[in-house]
Amino acid sequence: MTDKITLDFCEIHIYENYMVVTVNTGVNITPVHNEVLTRVADTYFKNKPFVYITHRINSYSVDPTVYKETSKISNLVGFCVVSKNYMAKSAAQIEKLFLSKPFEIFDTLTDAIAWAKTFQ
């Protein structure tokens, strides 16, 4: 499965057991955005394990409180950030503290996808 969803704040690519989300420049991800992303995950991965990959090619921020709700998604088996940007990686290290799921940081999308496939 490879569906593409374009929302006003991001673009989502859906695959068999993972989703790749690219958030638009300047967005601050809030609980409202997180609810939308959770509904997308529920639609495509209902009762099926999946990994959330955020491809951080644009500069944006995340309200860390979203991770409390994200941690409650029972079929979310992993979360990862893809970026070569030092600041984005530093922010991800802090975000990692708020999520109670496996959380990794990668330089390339290829590495993140390989990690996601280990959960199959």
pLDDT tens, the chain, 120 aa long: 589 999 999 999 999 999 999 999 999 999 999 999 999 999 999 989 999 999 999 999 999 889 999 999 999 999 999 999 999 999 999 999 999 999 999 999 999 999 999 997
Q: Which domains are seen in the chain, by residue range?
A: 3-117 (3.30.750.24)
- Please tell me the distance from the alpha carbon of residue 67 to that of residue 101, in angstroms, as a whole number: 10
Give the per-residue pLDDT at 35.
94
Give the per-residue pLDDT at 120.
77
Give the per-residue pLDDT at 53.
98
Give the per-residue pLDDT at 77.
97
Q: Which two tokens stand for residue 66?
A: 């979203």
Sign of CA dihedral 68, 27, 36, 79: negative
Q: Which two tokens stand for residue 50?
A: 């999946």
Give the per-residue pLDDT at 82.
98
